[in-house]
Amino acid sequence: MRIAVITAVYNRAATIGEAIASVQAQDHGDIEHLIQDGGSTDGTLEIIERTRDNCTLLVSTPDTGIYDALNKAMARCTGDAIGLVHSDDFFAAPNVISQVVKAFADPAVDGVYGDLDYVSAEEPARIIRHWRSGPYSRNKLRLGWMPPHPTLFVRRDVITRFGGYDTSLQIAADYDAMLRWLWTGNIQLANVPEVFVKMRVGGESNRSLDRIIQKSREDLIALRRNGVGGVGTLALKNLRKVGQFINR
């Protein structure tokens, strides 16, 4: 089974090398790593060129943001299933993709997800939050549950049938896409209770109060447009984060 791993990047010279190395360290033999660069000028492209291998498929072209970049990369992938490694993140272990492929051996499974560790940007070995995702149930979406987006792999057919990321949403297009796939599309998920991804804290959605407010507004748009819930579901979604600081 060929797995496509997508990395959207723009000026991340400090971290892109570790993201690439974590993909190349995977013990699964059939991976394509599609790197979509937005026109970096800080040395990112030089690092990619220096570290790339035969599985690395790099395109550097201007885009309108991360979701536009992800859509561009998905349009050129040939993998049977698609997952992400953001340019600030890295796979937690060399057998992540192997575990994903094993779960996809069941033809009824449309998507696979695992757990996520939020780690210190300065000390990636230090865990700040642990997102223990737990087993999937569609009804849990109404209670604010969602799989950790960076750990989610979906069959390419899911994207073909239900679409990618809505670029009119600047922060919550991933939440909107997952609700569309899971609620509207009613795809079937399998959970692997292992940490798939280490994510550095300080991401785009929580870097300022204005961004947090914008994310909440876009989350509410996503909930309502997909018919999943409203303000109550959004409140429950945010409350779920409290446990991530406790269960580390």
User: Region 192-200: what's the mean pLDDT?
Assistant: 97
pLDDT bracket for residue 158 (50, 70, 90): very high
The domain over range 3-246 is classified in CATH as 3.10.450.50: no
Please give the pLDDT value at position 207. Answer: 59
What the block records as the tokens of 94 is 């060399």
* Residue type for position 37: D
pLDDT in tens, 57-108: 999 999 999 999 999 999 999 999 999 999 999 999 999 999 999 999 999 9
pTM greater than 0.85 (yes/no): yes
Please give the pLDDT value at position 206. Answer: 54
Q: Which residues pair with 142 in a beta bridge?
A: none
What residues does each domain of the chain span? 3-246
Q: Which residues pair with 208 in a beta bridge?
A: none
User: Region 138-157: what's the mean pLDDT?
Assistant: 97
The answer to whether residues 153 and 96 touch, using CB atoms and an 8 Å cutoff, is: no
